[in-house]
Structure 1
């Protein structure tokens, strides 16, 4: 017997999140993609989604039927109804990429590639502005303000963001710790985490095992955790006290970091405002000129 058909895209995404743990592995890939790229679904072909999820198109049909739809077209219509009236920079960018690939048989020029990279970055920041959860952001600021110690972890491409966030937060009077895992010492660096501390974890698909380990330690120590990630279904989100979602634009499979950096800078500014810090005083205290 089919499940009742969701009445809206939001209801569909909520049902996916509720049923996620019970899904087979292939259908979990599809569920994660839908939550990360919901605004693209209305324009993408079933073959495009299957390729991105590394599954056969029939798996997407099974996924749709499991959720109460007759097939992919009916589910896609729900997303079209929800997102047609919104600004859609991601959709426009994806269509331009397809056109570029189709037109540039002899290879794209460096300038064209640069502009597509810039456009991908811009689309990610615009999407962040459209989708930022105000309540979740306020909760994240509360956690930062109330924490005794703040530990920040991010591995591989997320490490640059973690280091940037640490740099910003060091302009406050908070005790800030970068979990860099030099020599593989993630567990050792996390040993001092306590219940009144906050662990900030920055992690995107495929979600670093080291970051997940740090969050498990934080949970064991009863510390709070703030996760910056790309899906509410990600394994790091399940252990979080608060979650901030950000989906970057991508240029030929290379993801930008601009939207994530922007989000982290916004966090710092909001925390500094709450702590009533003045920029001139922070620079003088810390000895920074820039």
Structure 2
């Protein structure tokens, strides 16, 4: 049976961000089933806010009693008390978000089938972009920019669904005269390419669930060689998080089970341009000395 929080961890989380921080701090020591609940809760906060204990347990593939144990593990009397943090998170959202979605839904009702599909994806993109500004910590963004801006070469790791992000960043970095290397070749020499990375280099890795094992392996390999990794992923329990100096969590909204890259691409381009601008300033400062 799980122990309750110790004296050094007895402070009850007062909001969703505090709960998330507590989960991340203790993620390595959570028992298997509680970790399973944590992964589901952080990946699907809206579902946790609206769902019943039975439906949430079924989705997380655990017993309802496990939800109670999870809540008590973080100092709550029961699961309903913890669930209030998820509901408060929704109440704190800007009203414009709900109004925009209602307008899009109304438009979709009168459109033909293809128009409704377009409207659905536009609505999902809006949801993703609305969440983006709230999910990226400015201080972390500065740290990520600084790490990449100081690198001699930036290695871009992006496979499968994430590949378009790395590919476009490689293109943009080239135009901005920033030395970057996309790790992904038809010749299958990714590992040989990464072997060339040195202490003066850095990497930017991207992977979303279901995570590409190649990307996770490559990020771990670089981190083990003390080459800093900055990553973009969709969960605090992503394998990239453990290998990264700085990592960013962006969960794209879906439409009919399909997820686009609206927020992820916007973030990647902002990071790319910010890195190029920081490098320009660093070079100017060095030249002025």
SS in 2 for 1:244: strand
Deviations 1:148-204 (A, max 9, x none): 011001111001111111111111222211111535433222110111101110011
The whole-number CA distance in structure 2 between the counterparts of 1:90 and 1:183 is 46
Q: 1:182 to 1:125 in 2, by over 3 A?
A: same
The whole-number CA distance in structure 2 between the counterparts of 1:91 and 1:22 is 37
What RMSD in Å do the two structures reach over aligned CA positions?
3.0
CA contact (8 A) 2:178 2:276 kept: no
1:17 to partner: Cα distance:
0.9
- Corresponding residue for residue 187 of structure 1: 191
Q: 1:253 to 1:78 in 2, by over 3 A?
A: same
The whole-number CA distance in structure 1 between the counterparts of 2:243 and 2:141 is 17
Q: 1:58 to 1:186 in 2, by over 3 A?
A: farther
Aligned length: 270
For structure 2, the 5+ residue unaligned runs are 282-289
- Corresponding residue for residue 126 of structure 1: 130
Deviates more, 1:184-193 or 1:236-245: 184-193
CA contact (8 A) 1:153 1:201 kept: yes
For the pair 1:42 / 2:46, whether they are aligned, the reply is no
Structure 1 counterpart of 2:19, from 12, 20, 34: 12
Q: 1:64 to 1:93 in 2, by over 3 A?
A: farther
Instruction: Map 1:69-218; keep pairs closer than 5 Å.
Output: 69-87=76-94, 109-218=113-222
SS in 2 for 1:248: coil
SS in 1 for 2:28: helix
SS in 1 for 2:26: helix
The whole-number CA distance in structure 2 between the counterparts of 1:37 and 1:92 is 22
1:225 to partner: Cα distance:
0.8
CA contact (8 A) 1:152 1:178 kept: yes
The whole-number CA distance in structure 2 between the counterparts of 1:30 and 1:94 is 29
SS in 1 for 2:131: helix
The whole-number CA distance in structure 2 between the counterparts of 1:89 and 1:180 is 41
For the pair 1:230 / 2:234, whether they are aligned, the reply is yes
The whole-number CA distance in structure 2 between the counterparts of 1:93 and 1:33 is 27
The whole-number CA distance in structure 2 between the counterparts of 1:98 and 1:47 is 29
For structure 1, the 5+ residue unaligned runs are 278-290
SS in 1 for 2:50: coil
SS in 2 for 1:269: helix
